[in-house]
Amino acid sequence: MTPPRRLFTALALASAAALIGCDSGEAIDYSGPTGDWPIYQGDPGAMHYSPLDQVHRGNVADLEVAWTHRSGDYSDGRGEVGATTFQATPIVVNDTMYYCTPFQRVFALDPETGEEKWVFDPELRLRGGAGPYPLNCRGVTYWEEPRPKPGQECQRRILHGTRDSELIALDADTGLPCSGFGDNGRVALREGIGEAPPWEYYPTSPVLAIDDLVVIGALIADNLRIDAPSGVVRAFDVRSGRLVWAWDPVPPAWKKDPNGPTYALGTPNVWSILTGDAERHLVFVPTGNPAPDLFGGLREGIDYYGSSTVALDSRTGEVVWHFQTVHHDVWDFDAASPPTLFQIPGVAEGAPAVAQPTKMGMIFLLHRETGEPLYPVEERPVPQGGVPGEKLSPTQPFPTHPEPLHPTEITPDNVFGFTPWDRGYCADLVRSLKYEGPYTPPSFEGSIQTPHTTGGMNWGGVAIDPVNGLLFTNQTHMALVNQIVTREEAEQLDLSEIHYPNELYLMTGTPYAIRRFPLMSNFGAPCNEPPWGSLQAVDLRTGEVRWRVSLGTTRDQAPPPLWFDLGAPNFGGGIVTAGGIYLIAATTDHSFRAFDIENGEEIWTQRIPVPGNSVPMTYRLGPDRKQFIVLAAGGTPLSKVGDHLIAYTLPN
């Protein structure tokens, strides 16, 4: 029997009502600002801020996946190809998205559909697993001619430093190498740095384009030898690839060895992200440690610029000023975060400023033109008594605005455990080790170091909301153990049985080797109290912490039902928008989150295929278009790995 027509009508009305009820009911607002994301961190000063507000605290929970792009460039390291980590942040400019993969390929995509426009393959030679670090590429850089000449190639360029220690320039419209740049689009970067295997020296962070120059540093493998490759920073002409200047980070009175390499060996390297102020012609350089990281008795002053923020004249490479965040660093506390540039009324009377976040959980606020602290920095006594031959600094700098943000107390009485058994294990372990507070030096018996060498804060950097004067930072809260080993003891160890996170480095050229391992229980959890990951909002005007919440859970690290809201180690960073939201993945659990910047409430969580150890970005390319938020989720060799570039937007 055919149902009556009114039944069809009732069913149709019920279906329509159900569909309406599933939506937030809020129409997309197209009246707000538009903007692209033309630079790796949103702007040359790395504020990680967007004025876009179409996606806001009231509708962020409606975000859904718009498209996903997968390059296929990932590996867990068990084959002939080395392990990968996908830490890229794309850029969007001229209606095109550009990003790089761990295999150093560069993709150009349609930013609203994810469809490929072109792909460039540098045919990476260094794909093997040699060396301690996974294959990686954090981003590419865009530059265009101020007065373009129609019909000529490469009037718009993509600049890219590769694992093969090459600087490559591509035509942004076609993906073809720029023939007039270096040798058919490539400049070799290993000249004058000293002898080194390919995996010991190469760039890992995007280059900086400023004053028609390309400024670039490089990673140098840690703790291997005292005569490691040079940490030189160089600037090349963006059109020709010609070397314009080189900053060799040696003390001002250093006497060059006439028979040595072009640049001094073992100097602090610059592996992290450079920032720039084109108006003042300044490049801001975060430096690492001189070699090796964990014993400094033989440095003879070469750590003058170590673990520092250094301002260079972008036209000449001359040092304008420098500020050292750690004196005589023997903890691998190098300046990992990009120096972040801001200027906010009410913060040091509106002075042009630099915020230098550190692995120690400290943020130093400096005058951009002089390097002088904007608020008092105190030199406080720190533990002494390193191994024979070490030359420790008696004091270390501590900021007072804001105060240090990372907890440092750890005793047998405040260790963490899920049960009395693992808590007792941690208490006994802490009793057996040396800990006298922050900056306890490495020792023969083993010294606790907190924060961990991964932070505190790391290369993911901070985000600054210039309207509300707030700084947002994620941190990891874990401890590790540094144990000095004599050369004779090290030679008896079987290196084939030592794998990350339990490390041994020979520090060739010194009297010692170093063992390093995380302070963890027999259950595999950190011995220090949770949260093991946090997110904080700091009022830059007052220096006070506005709010603090845990970041991440034990999910994807522990089996169900052992999923606890204890925070999680995190690697990457976040962005803040005018919509009142802070967006971050970064954690070991497979989650992408949004927080309300007013109170730290988690207002959106999206499961992702693997951890998103990167920094997201956002764009809206026209008044009739939607805002997109994009995240690279690629995990790490310690978790699952992948190649997921995921774009989110509001539903129609």
At 212-259, the pLDDT tens digits run 999 999 999 999 999 999 999 999 999 999 999 999 999 998 888 888
Q: Do 18 and 10 contact (CB within 8 A), yes or no?
A: no
Q: Do 588 and 557 contact (CB within 8 A), yes or no?
A: yes
DSSP E strands, 411-469: 447-449, 463-465
At 106-150, the pLDDT tens digits run 999 999 999 999 999 999 988 776 678 899 999 999 999 999 888
Q: Do 439 and 396 contact (CB within 8 A), yes or no?
A: yes
Residue 560 CB coordination number (10 Å): 6
| Cα 414 to Cα 274, 377, 427, 449, 540, distances in angstroms | 39, 29, 8, 16, 31
Residue 486 pLDDT > 90: yes
- Asked if the structure places residue 18 within a domain, the reply is no
At 507-529, the pLDDT tens digits run 999 999 999 999 999 999 999 99
Spell 160-192 as b/e; 16+ CB within 10 A means b: bbbbbbbbbbbbbbebebbeebbeebbbebbeb
Q: Label residue 245 left, alpha or beta by phi (over 0 means left) and psi (-120 to 50 means alpha).
A: beta
- Asked if the structure places residue 20 within a domain, the reply is no
Apex CA 614: angle with CA 400 and CA 98, to 5°?
125
Tell me the C-alpha distance between 558 and 562, whole Å.
6
Tell me the C-alpha distance between 597 and 576, whole Å.
8
- What is the model's pTM? 0.94
Q: Catalytic positions, please?
A: 332
- Asked if the structure places residue 234 within a domain, the reply is yes
Q: Is 9 helix (H, G, I), strand (E, B) or coil?
A: helix
**How far, rounded to the nearest angstrom, does the alpha carbon of residue 483 sit from its chain's CA centroid?**
27
Tell me the C-alpha distance between 97 and 107, whole Å.
8
The pLDDT of 258-276, averaged and rounded, is 93
Spell 258-284 as b/e; 16+ CB within 10 A means b: eeebebbbbbbbbbbbbbbbeeeebbb
Question: DSSP secondary-structure letter at 601?
Answer: -
Q: Label residue 90 left, alpha or beta by phi (over 0 means left) and psi (-120 to 50 means alpha).
A: beta
- Asked if the structure places residue 24 within a domain, the reply is no
Structure tokens at 33: 């600002």
**Owner of token pair 């802070």:** 582
At 317-351, the pLDDT tens digits run 999 999 999 999 999 999 999 999 999 999 999 99
- Asked if the structure places residue 22 within a domain, the reply is no
Q: Could you list the residue range(s) of the whole structural domain that residue 584 is in?
A: 35-649
Per-residue 3-state assignment (H helix, E strand, C coil) for 147-166: CCCCCCCCCEEEEEECCCCE
Tell me the C-alpha distance between 91 and 157, whole Å.
13
- Asked if the structure places residue 376 within a domain, the reply is yes
- Asked if the structure places residue 10 within a domain, the reply is no
At 410-438, the pLDDT tens digits run 999 999 999 999 999 999 999 999 999 99
Task: State the pLDDT confidence band at 5, using cuts at 50, 70 and 90.
Answer: very low
Task: State the pLDDT confidence band at 16, using cuts at 50, 70 and 90.
Answer: very low
Query: Residue 9's pLDDT is what?
Result: 37
- Asked if the structure places residue 30 within a domain, the reply is no
Q: What percent of the chain is modeled with pLDDT above 70?
A: 95
Choose among 383, 514, 360, 530: nearest CA to 451. Answer: 360
Q: What's the domain count of the chain?
A: 1
Choose among 553, 573, 571: nearest CA to 563. Answer: 553
Looking up residue 140, the CATH number of its domain turns out to be: 2.140.10.10
Q: What is the DSSP string of 364-407?
A: EEEETTT--BSS-EEEEE-----STT----SEEEEESSSPP-S-
Task: State the pLDDT confidence band at 498, using cuts at 50, 70 and 90.
Answer: low
Per-residue 3-state assignment (H helix, E strand, C coil) for 138-205: CCCEEEECCCCCCCCCCCEEEEEECCCCEEEEEECCCCCECCCCCECCEEECCCCCCCCCHHHEECCC
Structure tokens at 189: 């970067």
Residue 501 CB coordination number (10 Å): 12
